[in-house]
Amino acid sequence: MLKLRTLHALAALCSAILLSVNTGGAHAHASAPAHSAPVAKAATHLRREVFGFAFGNASLADGTYGYRAWRLNLLSTIAYFGLDVSSSGAIVQAGAGWTTWNSSTLTGLVNAAHTAGARVIVSIDLHDFSGAPSGPMCTALAPAHRAVTVAQAVAQVQRMRVDGVNLDYEGLNGGCANGATTRAEYTSLVAQMRAALPGAYLAVDTYAGAAADPWNFFDVPGIAPHVDSLFVMAYDMEYSNDHHAPLSCPQIQYLDCLGPTSPLSGYYYNDTTVMAQYVSAAGAGKVLLGVPYYGRKACVASATHNAVPTSAVVADDYLSASQEYSDSAVRPGSYATHRDAYDGTERWDTWYNTSLGCTRELYWDDAYSLGKKYDLADRDGLRGVGVFALQYGAGVVKFRLVQVRPL
């Protein structure tokens, strides 16, 4: 998962942002673990789940960006991101995530969320794209080591009185030295985590393309019966779309054409198709459409859609993207906003940056395009939507979640 300001009312957001925590999932009505702090009854005015990632760093306590700025009663699940897992299966007791996890900030978040009727879960994380048969992923997923992960995750849930676990393992499917595949071993880990936390919430983060790929790292049909939700990371699609129609950009560099990180339609990989694949593979009641609160920008030769970058491509969080027009480096009169040529929804902005001496192009999700994604979640009857990540929207999130279109 990628780890990466409009202050006006965002009334364009659709009613799908209102969630119901009982819209699906075998464990959706299960109570919190007996050892957990009591959770206030979930707000019944919410029709679909709103699941947000919260970074476990200094920004979590910040009054502008952190949880004190969020409208907690309009969130159902907050995933603390997170605690890393070593190749031995043990939780790494070091780093910003571990420090914040053991701080008063975490306690404050949990207490505030529970008071507002939202659950807090802890994300257990391992990223390894080496594909090595004896690499960190294969080693950590070996039976003895994944038993360590499960035991330690349960211990942390009990110790910090949270409501469950989010598994964010990202890697490649391949053969391990013990003869198993990472796909099969990871599915076993999910099943073991469920067995160890029978009354808790369990989420798994998955790739956008996984539901339609029987050889993917994620066995979506195999995982789905064990979890409450599948958080579909439906973003970073521009890296896969630029070599497919309608773009078919020449293969010159890593990202050959700028484009929407999460297109609604029109592109080879898009939210509409991905959600249909997930509904077929796992059932709508298990699926969360994860949306990006960030976009990407670069210098380009001219202000045309899907331009080829002439500089490094960098991320812009929602706050920054919505304030680009007011930057002192914008040449007066040069800022222009557009809708995507292929799906008519995604936003892209262009302007001349006097400091860099170039035309800048930015693709990002604004209130309108995010609202269309929430409409998709409503139309498909999904469990809900996911936000990556809450700090990217900061205080704006509370306006976005409050200013919904009437039912």
Give the H/E segment covering residue 127.
strand 119-128
CA 272 to chain centre: 17
Tell me which residue has tokens 């499960």: 150
Tell me which residue has tokens 């998709």: 376
Domains within the chain, CATH numbers bracketed:
15-293+366-402 (3.20.20.80)
Question: pLDDT tens across 305-341, in order?
Answer: 999 999 999 999 999 999 999 999 999 999 999 999 9
The single-letter code of the amino acid at 232 is V
Residue 396: C-alpha distances to residues 204, 319, 320 (Å)? 27, 8, 11
User: Diameter of the chain by CA atoms?
Assistant: 63
Question: pLDDT tens across 188-211, in order?
Answer: 999 999 999 999 999 999 999 999
| 83 SS3 class | strand
Residue 341 gets which letter from DSSP? T
- Band (pLDDT 50/70/90 cuts) for residue 395 is low
- Band (pLDDT 50/70/90 cuts) for residue 81 is very high
Q: Please tell me whether the peptide bond between 246 and the residue prior to it is cis, using omega within 30 degrees of 0.
A: yes
In whole numbers, what is the pLDDT of the chain averaged over residues? 87
Predicted confidence at residue 299, as pLDDT, reads 97
- Band (pLDDT 50/70/90 cuts) for residue 71 is confident
Q: Under 8 Å CB-to-CB from 289, ≥6 apart: which residues?
A: 232, 234, 271, 275, 373, 376, 377, 382, 384, 385, 386
Are the C-beta atoms of residues 17 and 50 closer than 8 Å to each other?
A: yes
Predicted confidence at residue 321, as pLDDT, reads 95
List the structure tokens of 90: 């043990």
pTM, to two decimals: 0.89
